[in-house]
Structure 1
């Protein structure tokens, strides 16, 4: 009999399953991968799946996979996080109205075959005016109403610019209705560690759960490099490629180096979980292995090899001109 997760607080495993990768935006998804990946994740202790209506067919694919696993892994054995507000590529594809938010939550529940959602985030809050998020008739108002009804267990915001997320968190705290969760991405990586500075400020604003996503910088730090649509400028992409080549020359993987670095954030600044994009079971196993290595090093049962220390020093040198650089969001091409 599998263990039920707590329904009164989020007791999330240190790694979470980023189901945005199931949309195929990084690689072509082979048939069977989603089911096998979800099964491997659950068997290894991962208990939160993160998705969004914006991620193509991710909610459908995730819902189908979890449905097939329900005999062994019932709904009360894991958490589902999804989002609302952003439904397409440009700012005109965002709808933060209370009515659309309620409709979106219903659609997500239907796609994932569940009567409730453990977290719903306002997605990419920087794409709309501040008042659309926090004002009367806006998305947060609807989400907190749905929380009272038990349809949504936790309310949060996600986005790229940390100052925007903090402004919303502080506003909600001042009005006596603090956010439960904040999901930041690409801000605790080899290149950008700004989330470590912002995390205490989120906590001070009453945020219970601080999550980091995209430890590889949306594929910036993987051997194959990022997809063409990646927002990093050419100089940063070139630097990341140089890091990957150098790591390979030392017999190391840039993706594994990036993963182990980001996973250490839990103890560095009280991070609740790291959401990493996973497409197939092999990626789940690699992520778990990297996490176990971090835990062993923290426990003193494993040492960091000298070659790794030296390689990271060189990587930091290569990335130094771009340290804590954050690209513009939304990008010019995303503004309509």
Structure 2
């Protein structure tokens, strides 16, 4: 795997400079609010596993992560549940170039605890401590910026409460954790859990990550059951992940690979999405392109109540960027993920075009070497995407706003209660999510499913 950055036209600089630390502080137990420093664009590495790719170790993950850093990305999301993701990300961040140019304090690492396998969860205090220790080792770091309890709907509220309390003990004991949150799919469970933790502990969650709940097909995260309820529960940041609905919103349909068809969408919902894709085709657009742009661009505003003022990655090479460069308001936080450099380049082009349309974006685009009319083009593109998004929603009809059940009927946690934490004979085999194996490309596709992680 490569150990030097892949430069792109928007990031070329003859003299890379050592990047400045993210302005975090903790004085007398009072931490910098996560909402003031978390970047609004997070690189998800769920794609670094055997489900999204036949051999993740064959990917140039080192070159990809380094290129993401040179593009201005300053946060990476992973999980022990994502197979070798933590290891591959850790190795990419440990190269001499990254260590010298991007010190650990200049980017944020987000990982998770609790989910071990598709049907195996352990939220016990003992396992939480073991999981954190292992994550620190794999990521070659002395601390984790944000740790989520992974997919809380699969365990009881009491188990989540135990895990959160243990994570906070670790935070307060030695600073190996800075911020704590939960992740999952059903919005009612996320809301109930956030309120429970505030009520039982007197302290709100720093973050709640939702996936597939703000897309062309389902926008419930922007409503009263979503971000407004979480904001009322004191949650600092609500990142939106999987804007393609776990691959549902693609011209070619949900990805199907070696493990068969994993997606919970019904036949009727898939048929409605195929009709929506045909609608986009008739207007010379791809469903997935409209879906990704719509989700990223709309969530910047819809997610602002629980957004962040972190580095926006607007494309000024080797410069410490400020949220004030694009208006200074909180921006809704999104999680994207890619497997290859061209996917990263295309995703960043979309992201920066979106930023060009914000207040202050015109000047920032010029500083970054983009077209002086980029602001105007971005605003017009937003209108076109909005019109097609409304058309897609009309085609979806009753399936617009539908959420599938999670967990599915008959789910049983198969984790044995007496499992020993210590692995005596080396690392256990990599465990991977019930996600998508590698999907075949679509000719001319601008944004593919690998551009977004499952969780």
Could you tell me the TM-score, scaled by structure 2's length? Answer: 0.69
Higher relative contact order (CA 8 A, sep 6+): 2
From 164, 168, 190, the equivalent of 1:140 is 164
Deviation sequence 1:65-85 (CA, Å, 0-9, x none): 111232322211111111001
Partner of 2:81: 54
Contact in 1 for aligned 2:290/2:388 (Cα 8 Å): no
* 1:112 aligns with one of 132, 136, 139: 139
Q: Which moved more, 1:167-176 or 1:117-126?
A: 167-176
Task: Give distance in 1, aligned partners of 2:103 and 2:402.
Answer: 42
Task: Measure the CA separation in 1 of the matches of 2:281 and 2:52.
Answer: 21
Which structure: greater helix fraction?
1
Q: Does 1:3 align with 2:20?
A: yes
CA apart distance, 1:306: 7.3
Q: How does 1:137-286 map to 2 (within 5 A)?
A: 138-148=162-172, 149-174=174-199, 175-197=201-223, 198-227=226-255, 228-263=261-296, 264-270=298-304, 271=307, 272-286=332-346
Given that residues 40 and 285 in structure 1 are in contact (C-alpha distance below 8 angstroms), is that contact kept between their aligned partners in structure 2? no
Q: Structure 2 stretches of 5 or more lacking a match?
A: 1-17, 26-31, 256-260, 308-331, 360-374, 414-455
Q: Structure 2: how far apart are the matches of 1:122 and 1:195?
A: 19
User: What do residues 135-178 of structure 1 show as CA deviations (whole Å, max 9, x unaligned)?
Assistant: xxx21111010111211100000001111111111122223121
CA contact (8 A) 2:303 2:333 kept: no
1:219-254 deviation digits (Å, cap 9, x = unpaired): 112333222211211222222233234323422222
Matched with 1:319 is: 396
Q: Is the 8 A contact 2:251 2:286 kept in 1?
A: yes
Asked if the contact 2:294–2:386 (Cα under 8 Å) also holds between the matched residues in 1, the reply is no
CA RMSD, Structure 1 to Structure 2 (Å): 1.9
Q: CA deviation at 1:3?
A: 2.1
Q: Distance in 2 between matches of 1:266 and 1:58?
A: 27
Q: Indicate conservation of the 8 Å contact 1:250/1:307, yes or no.
A: no
For residues 67-108 of structure 1, the C-alpha deviation after alignment (integer angstroms, 9 at most, x for no partner) is 123232221111111100110011xx1011011001100011
Cα 1:306–1:276 change in 2 (3 A) is closer
* C-alpha contact 1:47 1:78 (8 A) present in aligned 2: yes
TM score, norm. by length of structure 1: 0.92
Identify which range, 186-195 or 225-234, moves more after superposition.
225-234
1:293 lines up with 2:327 in the alignment: no
Counterpart-to-counterpart distance in 1, 2:45 and 2:278 = 28
- How many residues in Structure 1 have an aligned counterpart in Structure 2? 331
| Superposed CA offset, 1:1-34 (max 9, x none) | 1121122344222211110011142343473431
